Amino acid sequence: MTTQPFFEPATATEPMSIPAQRLHLKQRLAASFRLFAQYGYDEGVAGHITARDPENPEHFWVNPFGMYFGHIRVSDLILVNAEGEVIKGRARVNRAAFAIHSRVHAARPDVIAAAHSHSQYGRTWSTLGRLLDPLTQDACAFYADHALFDDYTGVVLDTSEGDRIGKALGSNKAVILRNHGLLTVGASVEAAVFWFISMDRCCHTQLMAEAAGKPVLIDPEYASKTYGQVGSERGGVLSFQPLYARILREQPDLLE
Ligand SMILES: [Zn+2]
């Protein structure tokens, strides 16, 4: 039996109503944009986090195009359909970027949220066209659970490239888009976003380790065992909680 080294909060006894689920999702989504800004994943207009609506699985909550991540509030989030047409909210959506996410969501009905940005270490690592190695305990969360999209052909403008990225992602939690950056997914906003932050740091770690010398890899047997301990959806959700608590205390206006 695998031991989860996480504190397990008491589970709710009653299922949440749809409006309560939607509010929960939008609060975590707005908080995630604030976190992306804090971590420096806020260059220009690149980057997206999409979240499937709990009532209409073909509709997605997303950031308004061109709005600074560090200013996004719950009330700023917009709802778009699978074609990228805005259903709720007055802002525009970045249809080019949304083309990737919409097709990834179509390929993976289990995926509630997908996160992507041009983070410094993720995009640097992506130029090597390699998967991450199990160098650290944290990196084991991605062991045999991420893929490489080895096919850069310019800014994504059509859904066919989104389909190919979805195919490359397969059943994994993350895909490295060569010469572009990282894309992570989860069955919750919490997990998708925590995996993104963690994966960018794992890229940073491997870049530093390989610049300094020849790092020692964790043996496959133990990498696999550690994956079972730290790589689950639940692990991602729990690891997101302290980040959520921090950003909520620092920037409570995100709930407006
Ligand atoms: Zn991009």
Q: How confident is the model over 177-187, as pLDDT tens digits? A: 999 999 999 99
Q: How far apart are alpha carbons 163 and 151 in whole angstroms?
A: 13
* Cα angle value 32/37/38 (rounded, 5°): 95
Q: Which of the 8 DSSP states describes residue 132?
A: P
Share of the chain above pLDDT 70, in %: 94
Tell how far the Cα of 118 is from the centroid of ligand 1, in angstroms. 6
Q: Which of the 8 DSSP states describes residue 39?
A: T
Q: Answer with the residue of higher pLDDT: 230 or 162.
A: 230
Tell how far the Cα of 156 is from the centroid of ligand 1, in angstroms. 8
Tell how far the Cα of 97 is from the centroid of ligand 1, in angstroms. 6
Strand pairing category for 86-88 and 181-186: unpaired
Q: Is the pLDDT of residue 1 over 50?
A: no
Q: How far apart are alpha carbons 186 and 51 in whole angstroms?
A: 10
Lowest mean pLDDT among 41-55, 152-166, 213-227: 152-166
Tell how far the Cα of 115 is from the centroid of ligand 1, in angstroms. 10
Tell how far the Cα of 57 is from the centroid of ligand 1, in angstroms. 23
pTM of the model: 0.94
Tens digit of each residue's pLDDT (9 = 90 or more) over 110-166: 999 999 999 999 999 999 999 999 999 999 999 999 999 998 877 766 778 889 999
CB 169 within 8 A of CB 131: no
CB 53 within 8 A of CB 22: yes
Tell how far the Cα of 183 is from the centroid of ligand 1, in angstroms. 9
